[in-house]
């Protein structure tokens, strides 16, 4: 019987509904090995490398690389052994039905697609009942069920889920036998492999634009040169400036045709979500100014003492996180018919990236030291600018901060990032004149804060109390080290 397996659009996260095949790394009819990258799949804001879980042949490609998104579960290709005929593949495709995308459904479809195992011997037919596992470790129900059914010891397993939770995939990996590699002596790499490490699409674009790949620095995994690296090296043509008309000469209008730039996939998603948020969420706004003279001075001293380069925004992330813990009614996510409040603050920071506006998350910022927040935000910003943010980097969040102060913006209002209940817009620092207690005039540095709130879940008094606490933390910054 032919070993035929479907390759479907995977589902990463509960909110993913579709993905796009950006590039096939294996050609139709070509064999591949376990661990080899088969293709690149783009979601809303990230690109994932899909690695093979076993040795096989890519017998048929049903969805070529394009900008056309495919729904989760759609059949993208067919994997077989070398002996499978085209007629058998055609019959398999005709009978294929997309499965559900839950973890249990995936496990069931994988078992159904796997090659039939030989009938067990009569003595082995009477298998013992699965041994119940009693543990206090975080583990998903499907992972626990699989571990009990196969007698897997979960104690050595390192959970890859949030907070170290053991997932179904972790148990599947633990069940696989350890591969033993037998070295066969040094292997000489081809000259072109030693020279550059680039994707086929990047190589084609480099040839098209006449770019030497050896001059580029790859931003992909293991330094791999990607399409974005090549396009970033392409210098746009600069039109020649029209000669300035002589003084007194009659004005003559020239062509003013627009340059049409269609929305890319990421911009379409951002536009749709912002429109939905503004239309469906009842926003209201609270604004306050905070004195930051002491914070600016403390930051300068603390950076020298801690040996870090924490920014004002890093201190704001810490202050916001501490205020959210004290006001859990603001530290929320809003579902269709319920409000979810959290004990810790997962603060998302708005970052401009080549793929549009992204909001990576500083997890449990309330439990971090300012130096740890600075290191975390720097790493997230670097990943965002390189286009390497993962789903885990942006999934969830209980609150967002959007800071445009570095652009000289004094004050603005931000749109809430669902399912979060609020977002803080931060303006720049300005010197303003204030009246002292003696009736004199003095100058101080102030920063303007604007809180956008979802009125379905957060009342005005709750938002005002949060801002009052945040203002006090900013104006007494030594409390941020408590």
Which residues lie below 8 Å from residue 312, measured CB to CB, with a gap of 6+? 292, 295, 296, 299, 405, 429
State yes or no: is 369 an active-site residue: no
Q: Is the dihedral of CA 409, 452, 359, 295 positive or negative?
A: positive
In 3D, which of 340, 344, 339 has the Cα closest to residue 362?
344
Check: CB of residue 444 under 8 Å from CB of residue 420.
Answer: no
Q: Which candidate in 283, 340, 344, 455 is catalytic?
A: 455
The encoded tokens of residue 30 equal: 């070509």
Give dist(CA 424, CA 319) in Å, integer: 12
| Residue-by-residue DSSP string for 337-348 | S-EEE-SS--EE
| Residue-by-residue DSSP string for 182-244 | ---S--PPPHHHHH--B-HHHHHHHHHHT--GGG----SGGG-B-HHHHHHHPPPP-PPPPPP
Check: CB of residue 441 under 8 Å from CB of residue 286.
Answer: no
Give dist(CA 345, CA 473) in Å, integer: 16
Give dist(CA 199, CA 225) in Å, integer: 6
Going by the DSSP 8-state scheme, the letter that residue 166 receives in this structure is: B
Residue 454 CA: distances (Å) to CA of 242, 343, 411: 51, 19, 20
Residue 310 CA: distances (Å) to CA of 200, 371, 377, 457: 40, 6, 9, 33
DSSP-H helix ranges across 96-199: 103-113, 122-125, 141-150, 168-175, 191-195
Secondary element (H or E) of residue 298: helix 293-306
The set of catalytic residues is: 455
């Amino acid at each position: 019987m032919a070993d035929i397996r479907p390759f479907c659009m995977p589902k990463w996260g509960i909110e993913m509904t579709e993905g796009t095949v950006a590039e096939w790394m294996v050609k139709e009819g070509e064999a591949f090995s376990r661990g080899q990258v088969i293709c690149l799949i783009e979601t809303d804001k990230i690109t994932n490398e899909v690695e093979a879980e076993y040795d096989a042949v890519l017998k048929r490609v049903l969805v070529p690389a394009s900008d056309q998104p495919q729904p989760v579960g759609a059949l993208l290709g067919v994997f077989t052994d070398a002996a499978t005929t085209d007629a058998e593949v055609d019959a398999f495709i005709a009978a294929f039905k997309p499965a559900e995308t839950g973890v249990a459904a995936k496990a069931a479809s994988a078992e159904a697609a796997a090659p039939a195992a030989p009938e067990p011997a009569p003595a082995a037919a009477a298998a013992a009942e699965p041994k119940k596992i009693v543990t206090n470790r975080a583990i998903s129900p499907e992972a626990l069920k699989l571990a009990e059914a196969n007698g897997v010891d979960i104690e050595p397993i390192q959970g890859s889920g949030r907070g170290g939770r053991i997932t179904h995939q972790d148990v599947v990996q633990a069940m696989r036998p350890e591969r033993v590699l037998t070295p066969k002596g040094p292997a000489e790499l081809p000259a072109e492999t030693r020279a550059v490490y680039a994707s086929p699409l990047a190589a084609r674009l480099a040839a098209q634009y006449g770019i030497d790949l050896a001059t580029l620095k790859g931003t992909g995994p293991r330094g791999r040169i990607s399409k974005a690296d090549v396009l970033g090296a392409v210098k746009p043509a600069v039109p020649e400036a029209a000669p300035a008309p002589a003084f007194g000469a009659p004005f003559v209008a020239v062509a003013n045709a627009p340059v049409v730039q269609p929305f890319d996939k990421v911009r379409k998603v951002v536009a749709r979500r912002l429109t939905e948020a503004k239309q469906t969420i009842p926003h209201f706004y609270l604004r306050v100014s905070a004195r930051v003279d002491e914070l600016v001075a403390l930051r300068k001293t603390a950076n020298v003492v801690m040996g870090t380069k924490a920014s004002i925004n890093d201190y704001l992330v810490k202050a916001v996180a501490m205020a959210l813990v004290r006001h859990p009614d603001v530290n929320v996510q809003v579902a269709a018919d319920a409000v979810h409040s959290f004990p810790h603050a997962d603060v998302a920071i708005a970052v401009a990236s080549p793929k549009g506006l992204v909001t990576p998350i500083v997890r449990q910022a309330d439990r971090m030291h300012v130096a740890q927040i600075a290191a975390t935000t720097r790493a997230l910003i670097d990943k965002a600018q390189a286009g390497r943010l993962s789903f885990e980097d942006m999934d969830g969040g209980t609150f967002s901060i959007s800071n445009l102060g570095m652009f000289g913006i004094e004050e603005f209002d931000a749109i809430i990032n669902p399912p979060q209940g609020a977002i803080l817009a931060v303006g720049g620092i300005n010197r303003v004149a204030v009246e002292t207690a003696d009736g004199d005039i003095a100058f101080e540095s102030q920063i303007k804060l604007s809180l956008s709130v979802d009125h379905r879940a957060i009342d005005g008094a709750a938002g005002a109390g949060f801002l009052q606490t945040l203002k006090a933390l900013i104006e007494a910054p030594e409390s941020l080290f408590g």
